[in-house]
Each structure stands twice: as structure tokens, then as C-alpha cells.
Amino acid sequence: KRCDIAVIGAGMAGISCARQLAAAGREVVIFDKSKGMGGRMATRRGDGFSFDHGAQYFTVRTAEFVAALADWQQAGWCAPWSGRVVALADDGQPRELVPEARFVGTPGMSALCRALADGLPVQHQLRLLALQRNGNGWQLAFDDGSQWQAQQVVLAIPPAQAAPLLAALPALQTRAAAVEMQPCWAAMLLSDSPLPLAFDAAFIGEGPLSWVARNNSKPARPAMESWVLHASPAWSAQHVDDDPAQVAQALCAALAGHCGGSLSPHQLSVHRWLYAQAANPLPDGFLLQDGVGVAGDWCLGQRVEDAYLSGTRLADALLAAH
């Protein structure tokens, strides 16, 4: 099988790159190892509830992203989140933050990436295992045994997953391998009644938790009281191989501490992000050599906006190099 450009990774970086390439008339195929779209912009759905268990919201700091956001909002793919977001001080008291506009995909974080990828060919449940030079282009080997030929390749995946695939390009491999991604345990909690908390989300500086958010305070979500709890990078690293059920209980107990008592959730589940956010992102924006580009939030920063900018800047460079 052949394509002009193979984009590996259907997260914000891969999709924004693929969209820009396709808009310039290039033939692009996106591949992702998972069933869904959006990568770490993830939404888990159930009967009458939903959780954004990865990225919580996104902020908008550059003119390029402001322009993109305006189109997406107009199309109804995302909306501002006006929940009360505070910092919880050591004394447990909420402190107001400097106001900042926050946006979320609607009706869930992953919906934004699904909308952005609409019309682009996506091959799901295919994991890239190896990348080899082949004539002027590249040969890709996937875990179902299939082989694809492409003129150019984009790896829009976390560095720990990109580095082993870059054996043919040692300079890129070394750069990717130097970026460390921190893990994050995320707990998802459903409650029959609203939790007694005077905020919709909080940054927490002490203990196992670094962030908690009332998912149903975001626009277009189901009404059922649903909370996402993120453990801090340090706690997540320390407990990375713990039993998920014990992690869920520990995070729930930490939240109960902030509610002034015990909690009896209606449902409690947990997800482990092994590669949540980069501790030491690259400054480059993207990497590119011999028709293989590398993009992702970690090429620029830690956030959705960085993933978008990394993907679109790599697309510009690939178009210029063609």
C-alpha cells in the first residue's frame, strides 16, 4: 500500500499537521494504534455521564491559535468553560486565580479532534512498529503485518514511542530520547449528589492530587455529578506500578479530605497516562530530516496549543521541502 504522506498519531499534533498538508493538496493517511481520535485529548463516555480524563481544557496564547480557535468555535467544535477554577492553598482554602480564558471540546475533548479530522482518511488500530528507508521514500511496518510506502512520514507521537522508530535517523532519535514524559494517574468519580465543594476545579499544591475538576461544569456535558482527579507527577511516578484499584481509593480519599469527610462514589475508575506531559520539552517546534518529521506537544511545550503549533509548523516545513 502507498500514500504520499503517512501521519502516525491522531492526536492534536498529527491531525493539525495532516489537515494543513491535505489543504495544500497532498495525499495524507493518518494511522493510530487506538480505536478513537484525539490521543491525550480523551473523553470516556458512559450511560448518562462523560469524563475528559486527559487534557482538561486548553488556553490560547498565540495569534495563530487564536485564529484557529475562532473557526472552531464558529463551527461548534469547542466552547469556553466558565467554571470556577481556584488554587487550593495548604490551609484548604480556595484562592482565586488570575482570570484566563479556558476552552474545551464539545461535547467532549476528543470531539474537537474528531471534527478536525473529518474527511481525512484514518487507519485505526494500527501501531507502527518500524520505519526503514526505501528508495527515495520510507517503508512502514505495522503490527497487523501490513507494509506501507510513503514519500514523507510524520511521527506525531510521544517521544518514548517515537525514539525506537527513529533508528534510521540517529540525530532525531537522540533528540527524542532526551525528552522525559511524566506519568499521570487519573481517577474518574461519579456521585449521586453534588460534592460539597465551592468550586468547579482546583489546582492543588499538596498531597497526591494536583488537579480536580467537576466535569459536568463544562459546556455540553451530561448533568450527572462527575469528577476527574489527577495525581501529581511526583505521586504518579512513585505509584506508577501500583494496583489501579488502590490508586483509585487513594485519590478518592484525598478528595474526600477536601470535602471534609468521606465520599461514597456511585462509580470510581482510574486511567494511567504513562506519557502525560513533558518535563523538558524541546524548543524546536518540530524535527525534520530526510522526509521524516517529528511533531507533538513535547517538541514545543506541554499543552494542546503546543501540539497544534508543532503540527502546523511541521506541515509548513514539509510543504516547503517538497
Which residues bind to ligand FAD, rule: CB under 6 A?
8-14, 31-34, 39-41, 54-58, 127-128, 156-158, 161, 184, 186, 230, 273, 276-277, 296-297, 302-304, 306-307
Orientation angle between helical segments 12-23 and 304-321, nearest 10 degrees: 30
Closest distance to ligand FAD from the beta carbon of 58 (Å): 4
Select from 113, 131, 112 the least CA-distant residue to 73. 112
To the nearest whole angstrom, how small is the minimum distance from the Cβ of residue 140 to ligand FAD?
A: 9
Q: How far is the CB of 25 from ligand FAD (least distance, A)?
A: 23
Cβ proximity to ligand FAD, 225 vs 297, nearer residue: 297
Nearest CB to ligand FAD, comparing residues 7 and 193:
7
At closest approach, how far in Å is the CB of 22 from ligand FAD? 16
State which residue, 123 or 151, has the beta carbon closest to ligand FAD. Answer: 123
Tell which residue, 39, 41, 46, 50, has the closest CA to residue 227.
50
Q: CA angle, corner 304, sides to 298 and 309, nearest 5? A: 70
- The CB-of-182 to ligand FAD minimum distance in angstroms stands at 9
Nearer CB in complex with ligand FAD: 51/57:
57
Decide whether 196 or 238 has the Cβ nearer to ligand FAD.
238
Question: Smallest gap, in angstroms, from Cβ of residue 59 to ligand FAD?
Answer: 6
Q: Least distance from C-beta 91 to ligand FAD, angstroms? A: 25
CB of 188 to ligand FAD, least distance (A): 12
For ligand FAD, the closer CB: 209 or 261 = 209
Shortest gap between Cβ of 71 and ligand FAD (angstroms)?
18
123 CB-side CA count, 13 A:
19
- Closer residue to ligand FAD, CB minimum distance, 122 or 190: 122
Comparison of 48 and 72: residue with beta carbon closer to ligand FAD: 72
- Mind spelling out the 3-state secondary structure of the chain? CEEEEEEECCCHHHHHHHHHHHHCCCCEEEECCCCCCCCCCCEEEECCEEEECCCCCECCCCHHHHHHHHHHHHHCCEEECCCCEEEECCCCCEEECCCCCCEEECCCHHHHHHHHCCCCCEECCCCEEEEEEECCEEEEEECCCCEEEEEEEEECCCHHHHHHHHCCCHHHHHHHHCCCEEEEEEEEEECCCCCCCCCCEEEECCCCEEEEEEHHHCCCCCCCCEEEEEECHHHHHHCCCCCHHHHHHHHHHHHHHHHCCCCCCCEEEEEEEEEEEECCCCCCCCEEECCEEECCHHHCCCCHHHHHHHHHHHHHHHHHHC
Nearer to ligand FAD, 121 or 196 (CB): 121
